[in-house]
Amino acid sequence: MRAFPLLALASSSVLAVLSSGCGRQCGIGLEPSGVVSKNGSVDFGSVTVGQSQQQSVAVVDMLGSAETITQARISGPNRSDFQVLTTFPLAVPLDGGTSIVIQFAPGQTGGASAELTLTTDVNMPMEAPMSGTGVSGN
């Protein structure tokens, strides 16, 4: 898959642009909580099989233009273990941000990975890899 991450990743309020695979064409980026790493991936860590974990991922305006996220799509080898719980369309205000809630519910033990693609009404899609590990409840 071709990645288009122009990702704004930071702790607290400081933003740092780390990758620009699509140049200035991507208008949104991800801002981390404890779940988004410096390389732009969303990591759920270890979750017991049969349980689920939800993460709120901040999406911020990168280009100084209001946009609307029209859809979120999950693809990849373990896409059924991940689910976007937020409903769309979702506005990303000028110089502001919003959040998308994603759930990881592993169906088996071991590593799981998928790709989150956010499509907007203005710019190119932004993709972010997601991962988590299913662990036994014993």
pLDDT in tens, 58-111: 888 777 778 889 999 999 999 999 999 999 999 988 888 888 999 999 999 999
Sign of the CA dihedral running 87, 80, 129, 73: negative
Q: How confident is the model at residue 29 (pLDDT cuts 50, 70, 90)?
A: low
Give 17 or 134, the one with higher predicted confidence: 134
What is the model's pLDDT at position 28? 58
How is the chain classified by DSSP, letter by letter? -------EE-STT--EE---TTGGG--EEEE-SSSB-TTS-EEEEEEETT--EEEEEEEEESSS--EEEEEEEEESTTGGGEEE-S-S-EEE-TT-EEEEEEEE--SSSEEEEEEEEEEESSS--EEEEEEEEEE---
Find the range with the poorest average confidence among 13-17, 21-25, 112-116: 13-17
pTM to 2 decimals?
0.76
Give 72 or 32, the one with higher predicted confidence: 72
**Domains detected in the chain:** 8-130 (2.60.40.10)
What is the model's pLDDT at position 77? 93
What distance in Å separates the CA atoms of residue 110 and residue 132, rounded to the nearest whole number?
A: 8
Give 55 or 21, the one with higher predicted confidence: 55
What is the model's pLDDT at position 123? 72
